[in-house]
Amino acid sequence: MVDKSPLYSSPTVTEAEFHTLLQRYLDNQCTAKERSMVERWYNRLEETNVKPLQSQNQEAVEDAIWQRLTDSNLVPAPEARIIQHPASFWQASPLKWIAAILVLGVAFQLLYQTKQLQRLFRSSSAAVASSWTLRENNTRQTQKFVLPDGSRIVLHPGSSLQYATAFAGAKRRVFLEGEAFFDVHKNPKRPFLVFTKQVVTTVLGTSFRVKAYASSNEASVAVREGKVAVQARKGAKLDATPARPAATGVLLLPNEQVVYSTTSTQLKKRLVAKPVLLQPQPFAFEERPVTEVLSALEQAYGVDIVYDKVKLAGCTVSISFDNESLFEKLGLLCKSMGTSYTLASTQVVFHSVGCGLNHK
């Protein structure tokens, strides 16, 4: 429980009211003054006379505050206000100039609170930055290194990654600008979060690629293995995981990717350009049902292939594949049957035509 916190120092704020205030903070329903009170408490957590909450609420509040601290557009500039000329001001009715004085008083109070909040964020950000490590790749080659938790990173040219030096806490957070491949050490109890300007990616332990340059209006996340949860950065639920993805996010499986556009603010799932082989197996078919070939490709690449079973019933094919990509294999199969395929989100749609003369 918090001891001698700025919130508890006032006899008008009880412990129950404090927890209610924290929940309102998480729901983004606080006033500016209440937000400032909560964030002052958070800023004092490192002091010896202030103890953290003994509940999961502590982590949720820290996540919410952290997201605000890392948002460069957090504190808006004070709005411009039009002030009457002194002569017309005093010529107005007493009620009007009394109201004007009250408005000015509120404006000065809001300005004061804004300045106080800005100082709080600057001091908090400075304290956080001192315990973080920044890796920048200013070369023309990819750079490989290992994070404190054992996760392996491949950082692309022109990219940077910031991460906690000791990786303490319930979550492993990193901040990426540019492109990187992550091979995350598995730890179901400590989710791994990749923050970019556009999206937040959460994993428990898997390999994936994130591409999100600051100058781009798009960000993409592609999965090689495992499961990955992706959300838009704005309004992200930081307690979401691949096991419990956010309602507004997407869950990605191997060979799937999502592209986020800041223009449309939408997450669009699709297959990666070159799906990797997940389960190697021989691809030699001698007068085998076409449905068997398609099933083998589905299993090997983890990709859902949709086709008309009725039209393909009784159709056989003799074909062998070698080192071709998935889409090259599908192209060869379509050529042998005189048909085609299209892509729809994360599915391959095989346009079945039955067993025509072009079928071998």
- What are 321-345's pLDDT values in tens digits? 999 999 999 999 999 999 999 999 9
Least confident segment among 27-31, 213-217, 256-260: 27-31
Enumerate the CATH 2.60.120.1440 domain ranges in the chain, comma separated.
137-271
CA distance 216 to 87: 52
CA distance 107 to 325: 64
Which distant-in-sequence residues (6+ apart) come within 8 Å of 296 by Cβ? Answer: 281, 283, 285
Answer CATH for 284-351 from 3.40.718.10, 3.10.290.10, 3.40.50.1240, 3.55.50.30: 3.55.50.30
pTM of this prediction exceeds 0.75 = no
The whole-number pLDDT of residue 207 equals 96
Least confident segment among 13-22, 129-138, 159-168, 246-255: 13-22
**pLDDT-based confidence at residue 169 (cuts at 50, 70, 90):** confident
Can you give 98-142 as a three-state secondary structure string? Answer: HHHHHHHHHHHHHHHHHHHHHHHHHHHHHHHHCCEEEEEECCCCC
Closest CA to 360 of 335, 329, 330, 324: 335
Residue 54 clears pLDDT 70, i.e. is over it: no
The whole-number pLDDT of residue 110 equals 53
CA distance 91 to 103: 18
Mean pLDDT of the chain: 78
Instruction: Provide CATH code, domain 137-271.
Output: 2.60.120.1440
256 vs 169 pLDDT, higher one: 256
Dihedral (Cα; 87, 89, 91, 94), 10-degree rounding: -150
**pLDDT-based confidence at residue 170 (cuts at 50, 70, 90):** confident
Distance of CA 313 to the CA centre of its chain: 44
Share of the chain above pLDDT 90, in %: 49
The whole-number pLDDT of residue 30 equals 78
CA distance 322 to 135: 40
Average pLDDT over residues 96-100: 49
Buried b vs exposed e over 234-266: b needs ≥16 C-beta within 10 Å?
Answer: eebbbbbbbeebbeebbbbbbbbbbbbebeeee
Average pLDDT over residues 31-43: 71
**2 three-class SS:** coil
